[in-house]
Structure 1
Amino acid sequence: MENNEFEREQLELPNAGKKLLLHSCCAPCSGEVMEALIASNIDFTIYFYNPNIHPRKEYDLRKEENIRFAEKHNIPFIDADYDVDHWFELAKGMEHEPERGIRCTMCFDMRFEKTAEYAAANGFDVISSSLGISRWKTMSQINDCGVRAASRYPNMEYWTFNWRKKGGSARMLEISKRERFYMQEYCGCAYSLRDTNKWRMANDRPKIELGKNYYE
């Protein structure tokens, strides 16, 4: 798994935590996070809960890539419900909000609340997410949502570790190329797909073709 070209930081869960439930949005974002956790011998499980991803074809592509990588490293994988109708209900009135706006806050809240609920019911004392490693996301927004979700349960902690630091973002790309992960070209939701395609058409670029591009 390791190329031995760098020395990883030895990680520890906050507040002497014992077991981590890692919310994963996709294989490219979680690959580096997973390898860092494995290298530090941290006990963790992947929790895939992303009802925002649209359409179903895109959702299945992202999920199967994540399952493939988890199975490669014998990491437990929880496949949560795709309650997309509930996501659209919560997004009503926010259809034209910008990326990183209140719709994204709603989306993070929804996913992290479900993550924290599962964690509390199944013996996990720490939760975190791979979402923060992406440069397209606002880390403070993600952390605020995670801390808020964890605060609803006694003795639950949201780990605000900065996965981008010390070369994390670069290794994320290296792992994606090494594993030839599916390359998603928009955040995930129907409105992100709509707005990305609008931008592409305005800049004389073709619309996104689902399932076409992979890291090389």
Structure 2
Amino acid sequence: MEYNDKGRKKTRRGAIEKPDGMTEVLLHACCAPCSSAIVEWMLANGVRPTIFYYNPNIYPREEYEMRKEESKRHAEKLGIRWIDGDYDHERWLADISGLEDEPERGGRCLHCFRLRLTTTALQAQRLGIRHFATTLASSRWKSLEQISQAGEAAAAAVATAAAPVTFWAQNWRKGGLQDRRNQLLREYAFYNQQYCGCEFSMRGRKNN
């Protein structure tokens, strides 16, 4: 369904399609600005999201805490469940060792997506939530192909017959959500970060 500026469905079929019968989802959120319009669309279209804030890539710790508190504030304002994932940046650095010099949208990003989405898939499984998705797919700086690949791999690695989990691969840039994101950013006065999150993306930003 396409989306208008109040989060309601338009009559023309289009950009955003939810899986049949889905009423809840575990939404991996990278930040409040990126999740705001997505969450609004979900609530307006019969999907109850649980926010999972899991981003051990973010550097420095102060940046992580600012983004975390904004995500939590947003969820509390809407009355939706919010779960804090562990922050272990040193372990994340060890996990991506050897990929530090990869460019943005390169092998480091793909590996990072796999790590974060596999943890998200496990969390969804523990909660008994069949579907999971990520706000990473709302960023124009990220590769949708990489995100989909990472999400599908995460679901395949975690799912069992007794506890299936499915990745909701959706391009969250469409359906008017990008414009709505910018509106909500102003309405909530969100802190709006200027780089992806890790020190390597920060380096790339400074070089631009």
The normalised TM-score by structure 2 is 0.89
Instruction: Find the aligned partners of 1:114 and 1:5 in 2 and give their Cα distance.
Output: 32
Is the aligned partner of 1:118 residue 2:123? yes
Which runs of at least 4 in structure 1 moved beyond 3 Å after TM superposition?
A: 3-7, 9-13
Deviation at residue 195 of structure 1 after TM alignment: 2.4
Is the aligned partner of 1:36 residue 2:41? yes
| Identity percentage of aligned residues | 42
* Aligned length in residues: 198
Structure 1 counterpart of 2:178, one-letter code = S
Deviation at residue 137 of structure 1 after TM alignment: 1.0
Deviation at residue 18 of structure 1 after TM alignment: 4.0
Matched residue, 1:87: 92
Deviation at residue 175 of structure 1 after TM alignment: 1.0
Specify which of 130, 145, 167 is matched with residue 135 of structure 2.
130
Structure-to-structure mapping, 1:10-159, within 5 angstroms: 13-152=18-157, 153-154=159-160, 155-159=164-168
Provide, for residues 29-60 of structure 1, a one-character-per-residue CA deviation record: whole Å limited to 9, x for no partner.
00000100111131220000000000000000
| 3-state SS of paired residue (1:14) | coil
Specify which of 171, 193, 196 is matched with residue 180 of structure 2.
171
Tell me which moved more, 49-58 or 12-21.
Answer: 12-21
Instruction: Find the aligned partners of 1:174 and 1:75 in 2 and give their Cα distance.
Output: 20
Matched residue, 1:8: 9
RMSD: 2.0
Instruction: Find the aligned partners of 1:32 and 1:137 in 2 and give their Cα distance.
Output: 18
Residues 134/19 of structure 1: CA separation in 2 closer, same or farther (3 Å cut): same
Structure 2: 5+ residue stretches without partners = none
Matched residue, 2:198: 189
Structure 1: 5+ residue stretches without partners = 200-216
| 3-state SS of paired residue (1:46) | strand
The normalised TM-score by structure 1 is 0.85
Specify which of 180, 184, 193 is matched with residue 189 of structure 2.
180
Structure 2 counterpart of 1:190, one-letter code = E
Instruction: Find the aligned partners of 1:96 and 1:62 in 2 and give their Cα distance.
Output: 25
Residues 161/63 of structure 1: CA separation in 2 closer, same or farther (3 Å cut): same
